[in-house]
Amino acid sequence: MKLIILDRDGVINFDSAQYIKSPAEWRPIPGSLEAIARLNQAGYKVVVATNQSGVGRGLFDMDTLNAIHVKMHKALADVGGRIDAIFYCPHAADSGCECRKPKPGMFRRIAACFNVDLRGVPTVGDSLRDLLAGAAAGCLPFLVRTGKGEKTLAEGGLPEGTQIFADLAAVVAHLVERT
């Protein structure tokens, strides 16, 4: 099975320092939905792993998070794409949970649910915590320059082997062309 793990905010959709708190605030980054459709066509299972501490902070509730994801699923369906699963951490940063990136708990849940070893599985993020969580689980990290990507690149400290691309579409072009 070919699997890829994507962060949501800053990779698939535009991010906000005030959080994406409603379906109206969720806007796809140009080319990201088509890139996911291209992954689907190439035989990839596409999984999203996203920190959503806005839930734990009381900025929005689970019904709102689900509505945001429904909008994302519908937008993907419109271009012939799909996300096979969404894993999220709803906890605030100070909760000490094991699922909040940069800890690899969410990635371990993905591995268990899909019954796969994550060694070499591509993971795409725009922040250091995305890449660290994936690398700790054995994934191959890809940094995109969208979202917080430029800032992340400037700050350094990327996991060994991190590959850097302009956006999700560029990552997907790289992955699909080499297989």
Please list the residues that pair with 89 across neighbouring strands: 51
Note whether residue 47 is domain-resident.
yes
Q: How far apart are CA 104 and CA 36, in angstroms?
A: 23
3: β partners: 45
Identify the domain containing residue 46 by its residue range. 7-119+130-178
CA 101/CA 78 separation, integer angstroms: 30
Stretch 6-15: mean pLDDT: 98
Q: Which residues belong to the active site?
A: 7, 9
For residue 1, tell me if it sits in a domain. no
User: Residue 93: which pLDDT band, with cuts at 50, 70 and 90?
Assistant: confident
Q: At what angle do helices 32-41 and 168-178 cross, to 10 degrees?
A: 20
Q: If DSSP states are collapsed to H, E and C, what string results for the chain?
A: CEEEEECCECCCECCCCCCCCCHHHCCECCCHHHHHHHHHHCCEEEEEEEECHHHHCCCCCHHHHHHHHHHHHHHHHHCCCCCCEEEEECCCHHHCCCCCCCCCHHHHHHHHHHCCCCCCCEEEECCHHHHHHHHHCCCEEEEECCCCHHHHHHHCCCCCCCEEECCHHHHHHHHHHHC
Q: Has residue 106 got a pLDDT over 80?
A: yes
pLDDT of residue 178: 78
Looking at the DSSP bridge assignments, the partners of residue 123 are 5, 141
**Residue 158 located in a structural domain:** yes
pLDDT tens by residue, 157-176 = 999 999 999 999 999 999 99
How many structural domains comprise the chain? 1
Q: What is the CATH number of the domain that holds 68?
A: 3.40.50.1000
Mean pLDDT, rounded, for 51-63:
95
**Residue 89 lies inside a defined structural domain of this protein:** yes
pLDDT surpasses 80 at 111: yes
pLDDT greater than 80 at residue 179:
no
